[in-house]
Structure 1
Amino acid sequence: MADEPVDADLDITITYATDLFGQETVELLGKRLAAILGQVARQPATPISRLDILTPAERRQMLAEATGTAASSVPCSVVAAFDEQADRTPDAVALTDGHIALSYADLRHRAEALARTLRAAGVTTETPVPMLMQRSVDLVVGILAVLKAGGAYLPIHTAYPLSRMRAVAADSTSPVLLVDAAFRDHELVVGERAAGRQVLTCEPDPSVMVTDLPDVHPDQLCYVMYTSGSTGEPKGIQITHQGVVDLVRDPSWTMHTDDRTLFHSPHAFDASTWELWGPLLAGGQVVVAPPGNLDAAALQKLLHEHKITRLSLTAGLFRVVADELVDAFAGLTEVTTGGDVISAQAVNHTLEHCPDTIVRTTYGPTEMTLCVTQYPWRHGEQAGATVPLGLPLRDTHLYVLDRHLQPVPVGVSGELYLAGAGTARGYVNRPDLTATRFVVNPYGPPGARMYRTGDLARWDAAGNLHFLGRTDDQVKIRGFRIELGEIETSLTARPDVRHAAVIAREDQPGDKRLVAYLVPTDDGTPIDLAQLRRELGAQLPDYMVPSAYVTMAALPITANGKLDRNALPAPERHTTTDDTPRTARQDVLCRLFADVLGLPDVGTGDNFFDLGGHSLLATRLVNRIRTTLGVELGVRQLFENPTVAALEPHLTSARPARPTLRARSTGNR
């Protein structure tokens, strides 16, 4: 670059290597430089950090690309939308588990009967009603009943430890706790009943005289779902009826009355929002999966038996099924995936083997009512090295901003802010945290807010948005959002732990797991890791319990005194290879265990989960056993018998494996 002053003007010439830069790129750099110099000339006292790098044309274009199709949201509650659909198709099947089937009219009648019981028990407008129930037809009836009573449903994850269940229930002022037979005598329920909270099931009280149900406003609270909190306590996210309606009525989904959607996600997880309300507000059918976790073979069986057309999977489970049993997707119109970084290889593998199936990738936090972007991948398309975040949903806004809330140029990393349809109210009883994460939107109308995600992202030249990482210590493990600080708080509260650090490691591609690094107290007492694991499991959900622990004399720090995460060593996984296989079948099982865990050897007495196994790897292992040994085995059996020695006797009584189900063309639906 050279400058030659001519009178009061400044002429700039840019010389560039044509094999590295295109002319358009260099011209844009020149325009940006001119814009910066103009700002400096007009306001020389401006700090460099506050100079706007974008040209006016770039700014207009970027703000336009960051916005989904503009459309006025039609005010509507979930209750009104469901009733409209029930009026249109009263006799169509709305809900089934394979044994019980409810039409839209039946579902409305049962929900309204229970809603009257809830009203009589004291549920009023926006009462958050805690629900401790297994996945079932009754659960869906109960959720709709809570909404029709004017309340909001607050699902308690059935796998939570008791202390966490109590923390969630304590956040609600509801006079009612809704349960089913499986949890009627649960320790939480017994305690809540003793404390004076009324415990109800989904059976309505015939003596109730309440006849009228309230009108539900679109801006009323619809549900509260809890995620990990950095302070050591879970935080409840408040979502409105309008947010749910805007999500499921987005034109990108193109739901049909003959669609059958599998409801299999935990109902305390926001993926259940789409699985339930997507079909129910469009005249489709919800197929309720049995309670508990599903392995790949059980999932495939359900998809085939119920002729499922729509399926939603977390990114981790999608990868496992795509790798191990991709034909399971062949009969689907669409499989939707998100909740974590999505494997491009899994997307491409599915498109190659299931050419009639759309793979819809999504992105979005719970604070924005499940997701804000989507992209429908079709046969013939090829995902690159990474899967972009996708296109904004209708009336949704995405901003990649610097620390001064100014848009950053194409190719530059910034923090992602989200606004528009689906924005949550905030966090239950946490006005401080709400004010920190939901901030004023300088690019929206007066009073508009935007959600600060903490995600780092960048735009590329083609207008695609790419996820780059986090600005904080939040991670995603198997689709669950985890604040590492919450785990560290639980660890350092122990008397034998002086310092603790927890990170998410991915030493094997696609296998992200939590590892805890511990510094014992100065008294020299060793940390009992087995006891620590048990006690941590009583405080935190299983997906937040680290799978490996490393004891250190001190945590490594950088020159600035911060934790040096890059210097934390990979954990060693010790196996008891002296426990050699005694039979040919044990030998096969040991090799399958080792292969799935990424280890050279595994002994017959080694615990699958102590060596780093988790639910997704368990699904992979069960499928490998099924295909290699030709026996039917459930994930639960592996959880109950996590060693080769304990598991092998159960294979002798297992049923022969069913043949792999393959989709058969039956013409157009």
Structure 2
Amino acid sequence: MNYIDNLQESIEKHYNKNAFFIDDTFFTYKDLAIEISKIRITINQTLNTSEKLIGLIANDDIKTYAAIIAFWLEGKAYVPINPEHPQDRNETILKSLETNYIFDSTEKASFHGFTLLFPSKTNNENIDIKANSIKENDLAYILFTSGSTGTPKGVPITYNNLNAFIKAINFDGEFKLNSSDRCLQMFELTFDFSVVSYIFPLLEGACIYTVPRHSIKYFYIYKLIKVHQLTVLSLVPSIIHYLRPYFEEIKAPQVRYCSFGGGVLYNDIIQDWNKCIPNSKTFNYYGPTENTIYSSYYKLNKENKTHNGVISIGRPLNEVTYIIIDKNNKEVPIGKSGELALSSNQLTPGYWKNEQKNKASFFFKEYNEESLRFYKTGDLCFRDSENDYIYLGRIDFQVKIRGFRIELSEVEFHAKSKCVKKVNMVAIDILNDLGNAELALAIESEVFDTSEILENMKEKMPDYMIPAHIKFIKELPYNSNGKIDRNQLRTYLK
């Protein structure tokens, strides 16, 4: 496998360079290689070759990252487990894997019926980072995301999927790291963007700067940018909302690349943010976990393409196919909205042991005289006349009020357009005492007069699109992946 071979070559080439900065400590590529080798000894002494899946307690330390590489070199897959998630949830995930093993760098994990793995205690520093024979359809990792039924759903990604993704990112040369880069890794290992944040730096011999789990995330990122002069930033949009009060203080001309993903990116705040990183290439990436992280991107410029203030998700990566479909999986014309479906070699083989979900989410369709397997993203989009894709919101965020279908992003756009204060706003549907859906607007701010905002909205939208409730809250709730937790927000607004 290309990326596994390239990882080995990069580690060997950059032994004396720093690979990680974790909790105020630097670790070299040689340190990483030694830890990888110790973990491989444990694997070979403990596991049968038939064991392919290993639970990985997602700690923020060098041994955990070394474990990922060690598993890959052995042709195995990691399944990250957040130690702060409920025990029942984690046990449900682990039991679904039918594995007997969990790796925990702290040696503190306790799950009944599972064998705990940790690095060999040997003082032997012999380095072994040569890969075993790996089949392209073997699994590289499985990520579990929230499921609509309340049971986590597993998304397996193969070595071939990950290899195709890396090739697609490298195809046009827009994003090319070097061994001098200092790269942010702010994501939980249970979130797919973490893979981008560690794998591309490792492939080029760059240094990865992680964010401790119990830190104030946005403040720690601010400190890393300022003190360590980071050159590559991978962010969720919510982070720059938190950083906004510090924009005047952030002067980071050394930043070469800034990538956003995992949420809607608004043009108004990005214009201000780009003044902090004046020399950076900035990208808005889009992609579901099911298609190995990124599927398309839009390169930002002075005049960005937007819809309701939301920046375009651009065009598909090389060898990724996008189509916009109706409820019958038929393509709709350019300019008409529908559900985005995609096909590529990055696409997961299917949800882990969930045939019902697979049947609902994947379908085959003739496209350019080929029968392609497509994934229905659940995202409402349209393709414009220049072949850029415009994101309108989740289909399940498209609500009906008094029988009228409403795009919540449009409500948010008009609410912000006349607001002098630069604050975050989220439109959401809630149920009244009669069980009818009503619109609410949550504003992340101290209380201020909203009469001008409401008057503007009444001028721009029909009455059924005007929020019946406006509530000011100190902080919008976010989940561990940096996305707004709409279920929790609804409880705030009741």
**Matched residue type, 1:510:** N
Provide the rounded CA distance (Å) in 1 between the counterparts of 2:181 and 2:50: 33
**Equivalent residue number for residue 555 of structure 1:** 435
Alignment equivalent of 1:161, drawn from 77, 86, 89: 86
Q: Determine whether 1:396 maps to 2:288.
A: no
The C-alpha deviation readout for 1:213-260, integer Å capped at 9, x for no partner, is 632233321111111111120101011123223333423321222112
Greater Rg over alpha carbons, structure: 1
Does the 8 Å CA contact 1:136/1:291 hold for their aligned counterparts? no
The C-alpha deviation readout for 1:540-570, integer Å capped at 9, x for no partner, is xxxxxxxxxx7x3x412xxxxxxxx3x3667
- 1:28-177 to structure 2, matched below 5 A, reads 76=1, 78-97=3-22, 99-122=24-47, 124=49, 127-177=52-102
**Equivalent residue number for residue 103 of structure 2:** 178
Does the 8 Å CA contact 1:127/1:151 hold for their aligned counterparts? yes
**Equivalent residue number for residue 340 of structure 1:** 263
What's the offset of the Cα at 1:82? 0.7
**Equivalent residue number for residue 613 of structure 1:** 475
**Equivalent residue number for residue 254 of structure 1:** 176
Q: SS where residue 160 of structure 1 aligns?
A: coil
Task: Give percent identity, aligned residues only.
Answer: 22
**Cα distance change, pair 158–229 in 1 and its aligned pair in 2 (3 A):** same
**Matched residue type, 1:201:** F
What's the offset of the Cα at 1:146? 2.0
What's the offset of the Cα at 1:169? 1.8
Q: Determine whether 1:599 maps to 2:447.
A: yes
Provide the rounded CA distance (Å) in 1 between the counterparts of 2:395 and 2:137: 31
Relative to structure 2, which stretch is displaced further, 299-308 or 398-407?
398-407
**Matched residue type, 2:475:** G
Provide the rounded CA distance (Å) in 2 between the counterparts of 1:135 and 1:614: 26
Does the 8 Å CA contact 2:251/2:277 hold for their aligned counterparts? no
Does the 8 Å CA contact 2:4/2:131 hold for their aligned counterparts? no
Q: Determine whether 1:467 maps to 2:387.
A: no
**Cα distance change, pair 241–358 in 1 and its aligned pair in 2 (3 A):** same
Q: SS where residue 429 of structure 1 aligns?
A: coil
Alignment equivalent of 1:366, drawn from 289, 296, 302: 289
What's the offset of the Cα at 1:421? 3.5
Provide the rounded CA distance (Å) in 2 between the counterparts of 1:267 and 1:328: 29
Q: SS where residue 143 of structure 1 aligns?
A: helix
Alignment equivalent of 1:430, drawn from 323, 330, 354: 354
Alignment equivalent of 1:453, drawn from 357, 366, 377: 377
**Cα distance change, pair 474–276 in 1 and its aligned pair in 2 (3 A):** farther
Does the 8 Å CA contact 1:347/1:383 hold for their aligned counterparts? no
**Cα distance change, pair 616–232 in 1 and its aligned pair in 2 (3 A):** closer
What's the offset of the Cα at 1:317? 1.5
Provide the rounded CA distance (Å) in 2 between the counterparts of 1:447 and 1:119: 42
Q: SS where residue 409 of structure 1 aligns?
A: coil
Does the 8 Å CA contact 2:429/2:440 hold for their aligned counterparts? no
Q: Determine whether 1:355 maps to 2:278.
A: yes
What's the offset of the Cα at 1:303? 1.8
User: TM-score with structure 1 length normalisation?
Assistant: 0.58
Alignment equivalent of 2:152, drawn from 234, 242, 251: 234
Q: SS where residue 214 of structure 1 aligns?
A: coil
**Cα distance change, pair 442–133 in 1 and its aligned pair in 2 (3 A):** same
**Equivalent residue number for residue 186 of structure 2:** 264
Provide the rounded CA distance (Å) in 1 between the counterparts of 2:244 and 2:166: 26
Q: Determine whether 1:311 maps to 2:233.
A: yes
- The structure where strand makes up a greater share of residues is 2
**Equivalent residue number for residue 291 of structure 1:** 213
The C-alpha deviation readout for 1:138-181, integer Å capped at 9, x for no partner, is 22112112222322111112332222122222222222111132
Provide the rounded CA distance (Å) in 1 between the counterparts of 2:40 and 2:159: 17
The C-alpha deviation readout for 1:520-558, integer Å capped at 9, x for no partner, is xxxxxxxxxxxxxxxxxxxxxxxxxxxxxx7x3x412xx
Provide the rounded CA distance (Å) in 2 between the counterparts of 1:336 and 1:123: 40
Number of equivalences: 430
Does the 8 Å CA contact 1:224/1:238 hold for their aligned counterparts? yes
For structure 2, the residue ranges without an aligned partner over 5 or more in a row are 400-407, 417-422, 450-471, 480-494
User: TM-score with structure 2 length normalisation?
Assistant: 0.77
Provide the rounded CA distance (Å) in 1 between the counterparts of 2:77 and 2:277: 39
The C-alpha deviation readout for 1:589-635, integer Å capped at 9, x for no partner, is xxxxxx9544369xxxxxxxx95634669xxxxxxxxxxxxxxxxxx
**Equivalent residue number for residue 652 of structure 1:** none
**Cα distance change, pair 471–516 in 1 and its aligned pair in 2 (3 A):** closer
* Backbone CA RMSD of aligned residues: 3.3
**Matched residue type, 1:348:** Q
